[in-house]
A and B are shown apart, each in its own frame.
Chain A
């Protein structure tokens, strides 16, 4: 599969009154055409910061300390987004990489008509005349399944419901056929019924446009529905990455276990739900070893001293935990996770 994006050893920090917050610590992953990568994790784990770094939309006090974000153009040229000049970045944003934000209520400009907001990226990137851009915008509105597009063009965001607004945001994102679509928790702020519609819409449009999707969420249900691959983030690091089935059925990291165990599903019906004890670490002063160790029931002594490297489990599956070291004691994942794995018919290879 064609590689679109390569993130290597990305480190992002924020300067605050309290000191330097290490929001992203040494994150690496890559993304291929047509695939959907879901990034899951608790709030504050660095998911949004990571995607915003890819778009270079970090707040003023945030900066990319080191690492590379390599974008592969269709003609084969490769650029490092982390070092790109502003002018060149403008060409990538919207045209190559587009983004859908979490809250549709606030992500549209309240003082600009819907049509104008959709036409903006089209006119910017595709050099179309105003008339053609308008035509294209109308097409986009109907593409995201909003009826009477011509009339909608003249309306303002406040005349739309949340779901409709999110559709518009998606239409804006897709306006220039981007290769990568970043969806930053696009359904969190919506009703459950509308969530499903939006996810279906994204899926459908992805199939039409063959774009790669980075889908950020903390909702594992959504992940199972949409993702080809899943990255689990904790305290600014990716602690496990693999295909959906890797992560869902044979998770290797204790944090992933916790996440899966705390999600209600048919496997743990009737049982008391598990919850991960404690709170995430303060990234002003991240712990020395494995950041999750403090909250983990499977913590090794070494976890408190050394960062675990990314252990390769299979060609597609990696996890960062000392439990994967051959000399580590064998531990049993929680029952719920085991049951899930058994369902798939594969045992945890620990």
Chain B
């Protein structure tokens, strides 16, 4: 028996040894402080391989932080200017930019614009020099800790980054610390990492939504990046010191400081997606900011030519008599539908269909970012700090059966009530920071410690918020600073109106999910059915712009954790009308079909270097 045990023991030991053989390992947290080390790492990663071969979904390999197709500031002719185009004009030493017509995988797709371009030779040189400078012995391996979240779809990226760095920079090891998304958020502020994987999608149409993160002391600045010049540029832009072109150029400079001078970030790619979508769907385009689609503008091409031979039966299913139906897939549940507390993309998306703010996102076919929604018209004061909105007088509040609620229509008071809820420290809305972002007068109340205040005192404070009903249908908003993106933000769900009487009748249950009765609707659609299998949006006949709305019924089927292949199969079976091809394998299989659509996005994915590592 002893023999058997000892054999087992030796074998186990053997495996362990085989598993973790290797050189002396030293922590890389000191080295990561060095800008050249960071630059070496930045140049060592073949981003195009990831976007073109692994994802194969026409995402752009990025050497930049602020994405393409993101319009910021005002150009010379008064219109929005693509940030990257301007960046090229300012720092003209970039490669020529060809954007959409560049074929995936071609030489041109190798990061046309940006800093620290993929260059193995230079990376190796920088790394060897740094090793010498730090006095690293030949047999020593430098270990960098990379903190990531364990979402299945990202593991390829982590493995790729790890492989690239370890291959190109000899004597390095990337230790992947894979935690859940929630844990990552907790772990990141502790600074126990060398490299952190992050992504950021814009909240509003201004580059500041990206750049603000790395201002000294920002809550999201996990790497404790601090550069006085950078801070100066951003803070000045925030208070409106720069206007128009000047402001855009300030941002371009700030990005260059962040990426080129300090190498605080290692951009990986700007994500796009390739999907299958019925060719007959029209105006089904994603927006760069805010909810993915605005269903209000979507329609079926009902002409017979549009339905190819084999999809004729689909037409019968989608256009049944007078009713047109759209079927879509939802992969995660809606967590909360109270517009002033919710935080989640799915919730925002659905709120954008069933409720409407002062502004509404424009038809993607046109060039308009936003159009008047609940506000019929507005005026701006000369200094750009006071907005006066004139509301529509005929938009009823709709119940989940499609009828009007208590004969009530949307009034200015509904907006005031909602905004005060957003700012109310007792509600503690996670999205109250948006009030600061747009710079509403008196936003500070949202962050105040109110434990010692009475309810009445808080209410008095809230009344000082810069939003006022100056008439039944007139809303006045007073801002601290003038911001270009203010109007665009008015289409964001956090600023949607809420009917006070209805809210009071429900209390905490307002916006509770799975119960369409706990919401009032003023948008193009209302929720007619909502359970664990999904939900149905029904066209609202009481909507002011109902003639624009083309699709009568939108059915969302909820399939949590559906495998990418299963999702595609659902599309092929005719269960849904649009699907995203989530793996390179799927893109390769289905990418050449005629119903393939590429959708851009302005989400940037990057690695952060822990500069202020102790």
- Report A-B touching, CB under 8 Å: no
Q: Which residues of B contact A (CB under 8 A)?
A: none
Q: Which residues of A contact B (CB under 8 A)?
A: none
